[in-house]
């Protein structure tokens, strides 16, 4: 049985945050305090955990942190007014509206309302265009950026590699495919999804396999080429009566059966997850530098 290299997102994220801490100190010395505003609509428990974690990380780095919690009954117009006020606030460099919002909110309209210079999630059409054009002044979505940082720090060569991304969302799948195919990475990329014909066979071609579908343990051992690098972006709650919480966290990859085949793999939790918040802080620093 092979012992794969475990791609430890916690340690890589800690290094990124150390760099952010040093850069924040340099900006503070110039009288600039990076500011991040997070807007949460409703009472979604997972979203509350994420928002709390972001606020704690901001405090640790010395950022100005603003948490705006709105009731689930907040109207589209009220939310857009909050976004406009944050756009105009000089103390705020980054704006993040926690996803998913309640069903009555048009998320696309909210994303478009955010000043693209403050869109640290990287979802505004202007930043999506910059990603396609490989323009470094744009913001790269945090989870894909975290995946690429993990690959880079771990010494995994993307140049010439065949990469398969399972998932086509604008949050992970599509931007990650663009990062992998960019001149800096030079991978050959296939985007696959639930409608792809013979999905296991497509995945078996991959030197680098990224699972980002949100289905617990969907990727099985038979889907993975021996020696592949597997990046598991999924984080799913699965009922488990043996746990005090009543659930356990699992990725989109059946870790126990897939790991022995891999040359490297991310765990869940502790893989991609910590990288997402670290790259959000990095994006906020970029915004603070660029807005001045």
As annotated, the active-site residues are 54, 98, 121
List the beta bridge partners of residue 94: 36
Q: In what order do the strands lie in the sheet with 64-70?
A: 64-70, 35-41, 94-97
In whole angstroms, what is the distance from residue 275 CA to residue 146 CA?
5
**Which phi and psi angles does 67 have, rounded to 5°?**
-110, 120
Q: What percentage of the chain's residues is helix, strand, coil (to nearest 5)? A: 45, 15, 40
Residue 265 in tokens: 């793999």
To which residue do tokens 């663009």 refer? 178
Environment class of 257 (CB within 10 Å of its CB; exposed 0-12, middle 13-18, buried 19+): middle
Q: The tokens 């997850």 sit on which residue?
A: 273
C-alpha span between 222 and 96 (Å, rounded): 39
Q: How far apart are CA 106 and CA 99, in angstroms?
A: 11
**Distance between the two ends of the chain, CA-based, in angstroms?**
54
Q: What does the CA dihedral 145, 149, 150, 151 come to, rounded to 10 degrees?
A: 100
| Cβ atoms 10, 274 nearer than 8 A | yes
Interatomic CA distance for residues 171 and 123, integer angstroms = 7
């Amino acid at each position: 049985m092979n012992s794969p290299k475990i791609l430890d997102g916690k340690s890589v994220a800690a290094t990124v945050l150390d760099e952010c801490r040093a850069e924040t100190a340099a900006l503070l010395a110039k009288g600039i305090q990076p500011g991040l505003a997070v807007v949460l609509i409703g009472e979604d428990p997972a979203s509350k955990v994420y928002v709390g974690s972001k606020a704690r990380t901001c405090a640790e780095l010395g950022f100005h942190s603003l948490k705006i919690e709105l009731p689930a009954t907040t109207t589209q117009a009220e939310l857009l007014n909050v976004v406009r006020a944050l756009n105009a606030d000089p103390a705020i460099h980054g704006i993040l509206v926690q996803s998913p919002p309640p069903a009555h909110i048009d998320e696309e309209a909210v994303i478009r309302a955010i000043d693209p210079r403050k869109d640290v999630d990287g979802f505004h059409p202007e930043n999506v265009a910059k990603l396609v054009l490989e323009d470094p002044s744009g913001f790269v979505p945090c989870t894909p950026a975290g995946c690429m940082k993990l690959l880079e720090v771990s010494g995994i060569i993307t140049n010439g590699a065949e990469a398969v991304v399972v998932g086509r969302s604008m949050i992970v799948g599509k931007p990650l495919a663009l990062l992998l195919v960019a001149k800096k990475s030079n991978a050959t990329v296939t985007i696959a999804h639930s409608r792809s014909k013979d999905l296991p066979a497509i995945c078996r071609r991959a030197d680098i396999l990224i699972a980002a579908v949100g289905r617990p343990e969907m990727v099985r051992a038979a889907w993975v080429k021996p020696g592949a690098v597997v990046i598991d972006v999924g984080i799913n709650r699965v009922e488990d009566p043996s746990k005090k919480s009543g659930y356990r966290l699992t990725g989109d990859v059946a870790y126990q059966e897939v790991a022995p085949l891999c040359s490297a793999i991310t765990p869940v939790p502790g893989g991609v997850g910590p990288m997402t918040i670290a790259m959000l802080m990095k994006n906020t620093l970029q915004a603070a530098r660029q807005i001045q």
